[in-house]
Amino acid sequence: MKRILLIILFVTACNSIVESQNKTDSYEYFIGVNPIAPFTSLPGQFTNLYLPLLSNLETGLAFNAGIMLQRNIIESRISIGKPNQLYWLFQFHSGYNYFLVRRENITGFYIGGFIKYYRLVNNRNSITHTSIIPYLSFGYRIEKRDIFVDLRLNQNFYAVSWSNQENTSINSNFHFSVYDEISPILPYLSVTIGYVFKNR
């Protein structure tokens, strides 16, 4: 009888462990787009200079993809486009976010950190300016069924930059704003709309 009880307890414990592991391993893949980024390529002072502050400086086609596991998000972003008639801009971001609060349908607030590869090319003379920029993120994600909306503030804090222009060298310094005349510390907003592939 004791053996039967031990077997039942063992099977029950194993079943609980497996179910707990399955819950822990539940994850979601997602893909998204930045709906504001394409408008930053339109000619005009507002669209070229100020609208990028609402698109995390992404321009043209801007996509992101990642995986969400419990409270953790691993994400990459890529964008390519023309911030104005003179330049091409390519960016690649990769980073991690952690949910401070997460609920079933409304995912909640999160914080994280990213590293951005930023490459700006002058169309006329092929001079290229490249930067590696780490930045912090703080956002709120809303998920309804298979659709999500992500609102995020992104704050650059350092930059390592170089150029193929003659007589230039690698520079590095704290970097909190691209518009010092507006504010010495200036976070950028990003909006993402996307689709979630659930695996539960």
Q: What is the pLDDT of residue 104?
A: 66
Q: What is the pLDDT of residue 77?
A: 97
Q: What is the pLDDT of residue 74?
A: 95
Q: Nearest to residue 126, comparing CAs of 86, 79, 84?
A: 86
Q: Distance of CA 196 to CAs 26, 28, 76, 99, 137, Å?
A: 13, 6, 15, 17, 21
Tokens read off for 107: 């995912």
Q: What is the pLDDT of residue 49?
A: 82
Q: Nearest to residue 31, comparing CAs of 151, 135, 146?
A: 146
Q: What is the pLDDT of residue 33?
A: 97
Q: How far apart are CA 182 and CA 98, in angstroms?
A: 30
- CATH classification at residue 74: 2.40.160
Q: How far apart are CA 179 and CA 85, in angstroms?
A: 20
Q: Nearest to residue 137, comparing CAs of 126, 128, 124, 150?
A: 150
Phi first, then psi: give them for residue 130, nearest 5 degrees. -125, 140
Domain range spanning residue 92? Answer: 2-199
Q: What is the pLDDT of residue 19?
A: 47
Cβ(107)–Cβ(142) below 8 Å: yes
Cβ(199)–Cβ(165) below 8 Å: no
Q: Which residues of the chain have pLDDT under 70?
A: 1-25, 103-106, 200
Q: What is the pLDDT of residue 9?
A: 44
Question: How many other CB atoms are there within 10 angstroms of residue 21's CB atom?
Answer: 10
The number of distinct structural domains making up the chain is 1
Q: What is the pTM of this model?
A: 0.80
Q: How far apart are CA 118 and CA 190, in angstroms?
A: 16
Q: What is the pLDDT of residue 144?
A: 87
Q: What is the pLDDT of residue 106?
A: 65
Tokens read off for 10: 């063992």
